[in-house]
Amino acid sequence: MKNFVKWGIYIVALQVVFLLIGYFAGWTTEPMGKTMSWISQGLSLVLLFMGIREKKMQDPSDFTFGRGWVEGTLISLFAAVVFAIFFYIFTDMINPEMIDAVRAEANKNMGAMPKEQLEQAKKMMDFFISPAGFAISTLFMYSIGGMIVSLIFTPIIRSMGGNSVQSENV
């Protein structure tokens, strides 16, 4: 199995476990649900770091900044696609109450808007606060966030030793 697939699966499994624990505990619309989400995101970053590091350990002399960044990006993209599909199913079929709670909170916060702007905002909100909107935003946030974090992790991992190549020409 490819390294990026394995670590992407680990990240998705972690996210799914935390989301389901929150769901069964009744925390998905409570402050504890947000705390669980932050914890799972932090642990996902640890797994991303470990995935890039494992790629380096496979062939330390061939590990360049570019290879590390690409590996982190691939891990993030794989996890983003798989988790976005799961999250769509979760918010559409398993826990649609989560969408209702988010929509109610958004409506409450839009109370002071002029009526014309309110109508326009509700149209946009109906898309973004939906299973498809959440899945799409999850896909983009995981992908772009993973690319950025990989830019930070790769030089750290590269400097951890084990490279026979001292510098990389850019």
For residue 39, count other CB atoms closer than 10 A to its CB: 12
Write the single-letter amino acid at 89: I
More confident site: 166 or 123 = 123
The predicted structure's pLDDT at residue 90:
94
What pLDDT was estimated at residue 125? 84
**Cα separation, 166 vs 137, whole angstroms:** 39
What mean pLDDT is predicted for residues 45-49?
97
* Residue range 62-94, pLDDT digits in tens: 999 999 999 999 999 999 999 999 999 999 999
Could you tell me what percent of the chain has a pLDDT over 70? 95
pLDDT tens-digit series, residues 14-25: 999 999 999 999
Q: Is the pTM higher than 0.75?
A: yes
Name the band, by pLDDT with cuts 50, 70 and 90, for residue 162: low
